[in-house]
Structure 1
Amino acid sequence: MAHGDITHIDIPVSDLKRAAGFYSALFGWQIAAPPGFEDYPMWQAPNKISGGGLAPRGEGFTQPRSYVEVDSIEETLAKATENGATVVMDKTPISDTSWWAIFTDPDGNAIGLYEGTTEVPESDS
């Protein structure tokens, strides 16, 4: 994916197992928790392109959040704040080769940023 592409969508849920069953039955999504991310089942749409995660609902995370791939989280956060955004979470590692961050735009919408490469083993489910 390239800078500016939507790469991932997290959906906040209160019951991971129930949500996995619901979205799998409704849309045919393949849902599995990859090794090392057992509390974060990932979904993939039938097109094998669209995907995201089912994440625990919590304070500050009550609506789906899209993640945009960027070349540099630091540069993107600097540009975002120059244009009225507020950083909610600074660059944080996901793995040795990938990072994420969150900001809110001037209207209060939470937007996630993703930088790097994350290799997730395919599941047999």
Structure 2
Amino acid sequence: MAHGDITHIDIPVTDMAKAAEFYSGLFGWQIAEMPGFEGYPMWQAPNQISGGGLAPRDDGFTQPRSYVEVDSIDETVAKAKEAGATVAREKSEISPTSWWAVIIDPDGNAIGLYEGTTDASGS
């Protein structure tokens, strides 16, 4: 993926098993927990490109959230803040080679940011 591409979509759910059954049956998504990400089943669309996760719903996460790949979360957050965004979640580590954060755009939309790679080889 390149800078600016949507790389991941999280869907908030209250019942992981029920949600996995619903989305796999409805759209043919492959849904499975990955090692190191237990309790966060990942989904992949039949095109083998689109994907994301089923994440626990909570007061701060009630609607699906898209993640955009960026070269630098720090630089993107600074630029977003200059343009009127706020930070909902500071940069956090996913793995030793990847990070995420969430900004709120001037219209109140939550947009996830993703930097790095989750591939074990670091590529």
Q: TM-score, normalised by structure 1?
A: 0.94
1:19 aligned partner: 19
Unaligned runs of 5+ in 2: none
CA distance in 1, matches of 2:106, 2:69: 20
Give matches, 1:13-92, under 5 Å. Answer: 13-92=13-92
Q: Compute the RMSD of aligned alpha carbons.
A: 0.8
Q: How much has 1:119 moved relative to structure 2?
A: 2.0
In structure 2, distance between residues paired with 1:119 and 1:27: 26
CA distance in 2: counterparts of 1:78 and 1:57, whole angstroms: 28
SS of the residue aligned with 1:20?
A: helix
- What does the per-residue CA deviation read over 1:66-107, in whole Å, with 9 as the maximum and x for residues that have no partner? 000000000000000000000111110000000000010001
Q: What fraction of aligned residue pairs are identical, expressed as a percent?
A: 77
TM norm structure 2: 0.96
Q: Which residue of 2 aligns with 1:6?
A: 6
Q: How many aligned residue pairs are there?
A: 120
Q: Report the equivalent of 1:123.
A: none
